[in-house]
Amino acid sequence: MMRTSKMSFGMATTAMLVSPLALAQPDSSVQTEAGAVQVDILAEGLVHPWGMAFLPDGRLLVTEREGRLRILDSDNTLSAPVEGVPEVFNQGQGGLLDVALDPDFQNNRRVYLSFAESGEGGASTALGRGRLENDRIEDFEVIFTQQPKVPGENHFGGRIAFTQQGTLFLTLGERFKFEPAQELSNHLGTIVHLNHDGSVPNDNPFVDREDAEDEIWSYGHRNIESAAIHPETGQLWVAEMGPLGGDELNLPEAGRNYGWPVVSWGQNYDGSDIPDPPTHPDFADAIKHWTPVISPSGMVFYTGDVFQQWQGSALIGGLSAEAIVRVTNDGQSVTGEERIPLGARIRDVEQGPQGNVYVLTDQQDGKVMRLSPLE
């Protein structure tokens, strides 16, 4: 199933006019505002890969939604499934989700995994960690579980983002249950803020409130699969999936309510209207929204030297957009946008050790692809 090959992709307008077969055989490069970009396939045969993280030695950890963690070596060989990974609820959008390294990984070897976890009442998103020793996970422990567990296969969220202050954020979907996202008594439709061991930071906005879960940072969210910390401001940025239209780019603030399902820039799937966010000024609004949707999944702020024109941009994976959505910004607001069409559903985006950009494609035959300047 392994090979190294070169793929490249036509412009988005071209992709809309050609057949799926043609999309499977794209051109040799994609044109961007930074010039022509080469796209190499480093690995394929992954079943719906979801998250990735680079090890200090340059190897790449990759999750597959079915419940496997793999290691992509520097020669592009893909390991057998890593042992020690938790059992996951592999139904619908559930499964093994994100992977992230502890900021002190060099010393503690800790790897964090988010995943859909079965239990009484159904399933919910969980976060755990273990040590990577001899290419297996040792002593894995669950440090947080979303409450309550509910029936259904949708909206698990699951992105992990480590802050510059020694804490982390975990994004949680509302499990397609709508109204509970407005309630502080559960974790549905929230972003939670945790210490690295899963304990609650003392300055969380709802600590010691009897009617609220202590872990909650912000609420009123729908389903967030994109999250990253801005390298200059240290602020969390998330891209959130809307319903029929209305994907959002948010800068979540402690204690704020982001309105779902009371308001949205989109509509319900049956076409019925949802009030726009300005009708309820007590809710926090997005700094940008997309209709038609891009279906955001995965995000990284680019800080490398390989694509100097991209420095400071948020690179957001687009599932329905089949592209990287590059968002330029001033740290607090959006100043521009570029679509980098790749002809496949993009599940995650990462910056490699040398400054190249890596993406995962969300397919039954999923791929790891690398973007670099066309020489």
Residues classed as catalytic: 155
Report strand pairing: 288-290 vs 334-341.
unpaired
Q: Tell me the backbone φ, ψ of residue 182, rounded to 5 degrees.
A: -95, 5
What letters, b where the CB count within 10 A reaches 16 and e where it falls short, cover 290-325? Answer: beebbbbbbbbbbeeebbeebebbbbbbbbbbbbbb
Q: Tell me the backbone φ, ψ of residue 350, rounded to 5 degrees.
A: -140, 155
Query: What is the rounded CA–CA span in Å between residue 351 and residue 60?
Result: 11
Query: What is the rounded CA–CA span in Å between residue 102 and residue 111?
Result: 6
* 3-state SS string for the chain: CCCCEEECCCCHHHHCCCCHHHHCCCCCCEEECCEEEEEEEEEEEECCEEEEEECCCCCEEEEECCCEEEEECCCCCECCCCCCCCCCCCCCCCCEEEEEECCCHHHHCEEEEEEEEEECCEEEEEEEEEEEECCEEEEEEEEEECCCCECCCCCCCCCEEECCCCEEEEECCCCCCCHHHHCCCCCCCEEEEEECCCCCCCCCCCCCCCCCCCCEEEECCCCEEEEEECCCCCCEEEEECCCECCEEEECCCCCCECCCCCCCCCECCCCCCCCCHHHCCCCCCCCEEECCCCCEEEEEECCCCCCHHHCCCEEEEECCCCEEEEEEECCCCEEEEEEEECCCCEEEEEECCCCCEEEEECCCCEEEEEEEECC
